Chain A
Amino acid sequence: MSDIALTSPVPVTTEPVLIRSLLIGLSLAFVALFLFAPLVTVFVEALRQGWVAALDALRLPDAQAAIRMTLTIAAIAVPINAVFGIAAAWAITKFDFPGKAFLITLIDLPFSVSPVVAGLMLVLLFGANSTLGGWLIANDMPIVFAFPGILLATLFVTFPFVARELIPVMIEQGRAEEEAALTLGASGWRTFFTVTLPNIRWALLYGVLLCNARAMGEFGAVAVVSGKIRGETATMPTMVEMFYNEYLSVAAFTLAAVLAMLALLTLLLKSLLEWRHADLLAATRRH
């Protein structure tokens, strides 16, 4: 009996068709209701008054400033966190040192701290009422309620993405190849660029995409430190809220739709990556 069960193509699940289709239907309904419907609503609301109104909304100086702000923030925050992520993952996986577990926990901190708390920490640290903040403001270098504060808030919340993607991959790969390179006389940099980086490049790209999606979408932490100055310290998510509160729903939903499209583009890139390089990804990451 058991021999037959092992070799014949009997389905593993034995639920009747009815149960199966019920489960599949439930999952599809859930996805449609909670993911697809809201997304469609955003686009429907944006186009409620037609393409022209939506495009006009994007031409508003405040909307353009917000788009520019978000793209700039992402363009700075993502490379910084990519470099940091590689450095942290490299240090954690290729070397042994005391306090390693503690460092890994620290890197995860932004995942567990509420973004609002992250924003308030920045206000407390760099606000006018702290010694450091007072000095910076007196010297015309305000951090909170200005560009640097928004950048810091974004850096904080997107901190772990790249490192978190890289660490499991690099642990799995071990140190043998780097050690081989070193015994062959390669320098540290050469080892990194010719051995380590090619091994982690897909995981790195994956981490960067996730990091980028979050950097562009972050609301909570940025809202606390932005000061809500229209056209100056408003990012796309905060501008969406402002437009919505001003009864400019077409502008709000158009900007939200642009944000959603940026997110979808990120997902598309991610899927393309997985599809084109499935074998490489499978080889380098298993989680």
Chain B
Amino acid sequence: MYRTIQIGGHTLAQGIFLRSLGDGRIEIDAGHARRSGHPVATPRSSETVSFHSAFRKALTGGHLRGGLLAGLTGLVLAFGGTTPAAAQDSIEILNVSYDPTREFYREYNELFNVWWTAQGNAPVTIRQSHGGAGAQARAVIDGLEATVVTLALSADIDAISERTGLFPADWQSRLPHNSSPYTSTIVFLVREGNPRGIEDWDDLVADGVQVITPNPKTSGGARWNFLAAWAYAERNDLDPAEFVGAMYRNVPVLDTGARGSTTTFTQRGIGDVLLAWENEAFLALAELGEDAFDIVVPSVSILAEPPVTLVDGNITSDALRAAAEAYLQHLYSPEAQALALSHYYRAWDTSQAAPEDAARFPEVELVTIADFGGWPVVQPEYFGEGGIFDQIYEE
């Protein structure tokens, strides 16, 4: 007899009934492993378990007790077997993302699941992994089984495609707006009242100003920072390499990701100015108090496009593909765009956004990556081994 059980917050497993465990849970043979958990009434009913009730159940901690009771071997199976490939029955999307999207995707995942179940689908489990974009791409290359990647810039996604062939090289044309459902730009975050009088890029090279930015080798945001500074120097007839070099000599700490730099600046109190994603700067204001920091918008910045794509090679079933494709496409829906706007991203569709979310962004002259020749040119020339960044940093 086939039974469906609930093994995690809202993870389901299906298999042949083995025995009843006495406390309401049953043990099943799921083909590759034995699992135990509370049965859901009939196999079909997996579609009627709403995301919210499952979520609430997870919150009340019922499954923690169950998990501990299941004992050592049960736990091993439960942990070892919940990778997307092993748990065929429950659909699980692993979204490997960059640093500042934590808050946005936490809410988007709920929004997506509500919409997805309303379409008559079983809820999907969405797992998140966050870190510096370069480091995250490296992890996917090394075997982290991402279903979708949502990274800070296309060069990191290109690197995955190039080295693993998990998805085609023309991935960026698969979704609208260069596969970037939301964009952002680079601004300055300074301490309250702007005590160092930082107004534009040329103030960052002054003696004694401490600039906080992550390492362009591992962080996508840092590469946008670098290019925005470069663009300013070019606009103002300065030697870009010399200008950017002078800026990096003012950097006391190079963190690996954008969020690390933000905490260095805001919570550890190091530095006079943080080069930040605009969304990250607004978030820091919202989380840590408007009266602690000010945002300064430079005269020129860069249009940062963080793209998303499906990792075709890690898709193990048609059901997973359908859910993962819908997951990315739904990012372009008016309600998801409104959510992105409320998380301080410059999204495209403002139709459902609150007026203050849509009107928040200051006008700023934005150069684009196309002005530099596109990421396939920029990545090796500026940030590759022995590239311009290496030459600058060695000085």
Contacts and interface: CB of A to CB of B under 8 A. Distances in A.
Interface string A111-142: 00000000000010011110001000100101
Given A140-B85, A245-B260, A128 B131 contact: no
B296 to A, nearest CB: 22
A227 interface: yes
B64 A228 contact: no
A245 B131 CA distance: 10
A106 B144 CA distance: 30
B317 interface: no
Contacts, number: 94
A129 B141 contact: yes
Nearest to A249: B267
A228 B83 contact: no
A247 interface: yes
B61 A245 contact: no
A270 B102 CA distance: 40
A178 interface: no
Interface in A237-257: 242, 244-247
Contacts of A229: 94, 127-129, 144
Interface stretch (B71-79, B216-224, B327-335): B71-79
A241 to B, nearest CB: 10
A94 B94 CA distance: 51
A247 B287 contact: yes
Contacts of A76: 72, 76
B120 interface: no
Interface in B138-154: 139, 141-145
A245 B67 contact: no
A61 B128 CA distance: 13
A190 B70 CA distance: 34
Nearest to A136: B143
B61 A145 contact: no
A144 B142 contact: yes
Contacts of A128: 141-143, 164
Name the residue among B9, B142, B263 with the largest chain A CB count within 10 angstroms.
Answer: B142
Contacts of B143: 126-129, 133, 137, 142, 144-145
A127 B164 CA distance: 12
B377 interface: no
A278 interface: no
Contact of A228 (B9, B76, B129): B129
A242 B103 CA distance: 12
A147 interface: yes
B129 A227 contact: yes
Interface residues of A, number: 36
Interface string B228-269: 000000000000000000000000000000011001000000
B330 to A, nearest CB: 20
Which of A67, A71, A128 counts the most chain B CB atoms within 10 A?
A: A128
A228 B60 CA distance: 24
A262 to B, nearest CB: 15
A146 interface: yes
Contacts of A123: 142
A117 B351 CA distance: 50
A36 B344 CA distance: 40
A26 interface: no
B80 interface: yes
Contacts of A71: 68
A95 B143 CA distance: 43
A228 B144 CA distance: 10
B191 interface: no
A220 interface: no
Considering residues B64, B143, B164, which has the most beta carbons from chain A within 10 angstroms of its beta carbon?
A: B143
A75 interface: yes
Given A75-B72, A231-B127, A245-B102, A145 B79 contact: no
A146 B80 contact: yes
B288 interface: yes
A227 B139 contact: yes
B25 interface: no
Contacts of A68: 64, 67-68, 75
Contacts of B141: 128-129
A140 B86 contact: yes
Interface in A41-90: 59-61, 64, 67-69, 71-72, 75-76
A108 interface: no
Contacts of A60: 59
Nearest to B57: A61
Nearest to A129: B142
A67 B61 CA distance: 12
Contact of A146 (B83, B130, B131): B83
Interface string B142-173: 11110000000000000000011000000000
16 contacts: A61-B58, A67-B64, A68-B67, A72-B75, A123-B142, A126-B143, A129-B163, A140-B83, A145-B145, A146-B80, A147-B76, A147-B79, A230-B129, A231-B9, A232-B79, A247-B287
Given A137-B143, A146-B80, 10 more contacts: A59-B61, A68-B68, A72-B75, A75-B72, A128-B164, A129-B141, A129-B163, A145-B144, A229-B128, A231-B9
Q: Which 8 residue pairs across A and B have the least CB separation, nearest first? A: A128-B143, A127-B142, A145-B144, A247-B287, A147-B79, A227-B144, A228-B129, A61-B58
